[in-house]
Amino acid sequence: MDLDRIERELKKRLAYPYAWGRKQNDHFDKRTQFIYDTHTFETLFARIKKTFRDDPRCDALTMYAMNRWYNYWSARAVEEIFCRMPGVEPERDVRNRLADFSVHGIRFDHKTTVFPKSYNGTIEQARTHPEELIRWLYSNQSQGSRNHARNRLFIVLYSYDNEHWKLKAEIAWLRNIIESYVIQFDRAKLLTFNFEDGIPTLADVIWGIKKSKTA
């Protein structure tokens, strides 16, 4: 996977507004499955136009497809960064929705997310008490086909210009953050939760915070 190419393509998405207009749902997901094999932003735009131009919900589907494509390829790049690190092994079962890779033998799903507007707390409070943010994220995100309460690493993005979503395109910057985390990985520092009876959940937050465009 060419991470530099993915970063270039993702940054082409930044010229357009980012808004969902609805919660992610299985119906709209099925209508936009083509994002998985669309590698360039130009091709994405062409496929959206061809697929939805006569649909009365064209605008909503266009934004939905653009957002899914952006988030998917950013997540693929993040997963690739993890899997290139010593001690990290990709999940062998590609159909396993509960895990993307293992870090020193511990299976994890990963989720890159912006700091949620509806979270009842500041970024400073969340960094001091990450367990509260993690509980909120498990309760409020991934309610579709990837909904589960198993081990997860959350990469939480925050920009002081409030353009948090744009940080998903900063693949080289994310690579430095992820590599540093994996190098310093310590199982004892993971947080443990009891979301499911008899099945402990291990989770952690990897912070991606930018104070300015040049930070």
- pLDDT tens digits, 114-152: 999 999 999 999 999 999 999 999 988 755 555 678 899
Mean pLDDT is lowest, of 41-45, 81-85, 96-100, 164-168, for 96-100
Give the separation between CA 45 and CA 62, rounded to whole angstroms.
9
Query: Exposed/middle/buried for 148, CB within 10 Å: 0-12, 13-18, 19+?
Result: middle
Q: 111 - beta bridge partners?
A: 154
Identify the residue with better confidence: 93 or 155.
Answer: 155
Read off the amino acid at residue 78: V
With a pLDDT cut of 70, the percent of the chain lying above it is 95
Residues 198, 155: contact at Cβ < 8 Å?
no
Does residue 52 have a pLDDT over 60? Answer: yes
Read off the amino acid at residue 174: L
For residue 40 the two structure tokens come to: 């360039």
Confidence at 4, pLDDT banded by 50, 70, 90 = very high
Hunting for tokens 């991606």 — which residue is that?
A: 208
- pLDDT tens digits, 9-27: 999 999 999 988 777 777 8
Does residue 215 have a pLDDT over 50? Answer: no
For residue 72 the two structure tokens come to: 């998917």
Identify the residue with better confidence: 95 or 8.
Answer: 8
Give the separation between CA 146 and CA 87, rounded to whole angstroms.
25
Q: What is the DSSP letter of 19?
A: -
Residues 61, 31: contact at Cβ < 8 Å?
yes
- pLDDT tens digits, 172-192: 999 999 999 999 999 999 999
Domain assignments of the chain as residue spans, ordered by start: 3-210
Give the separation between CA 19 and CA 40, rounded to whole angstroms.
20
Give the separation between CA 197 and CA 83, rounded to whole angstroms.
30
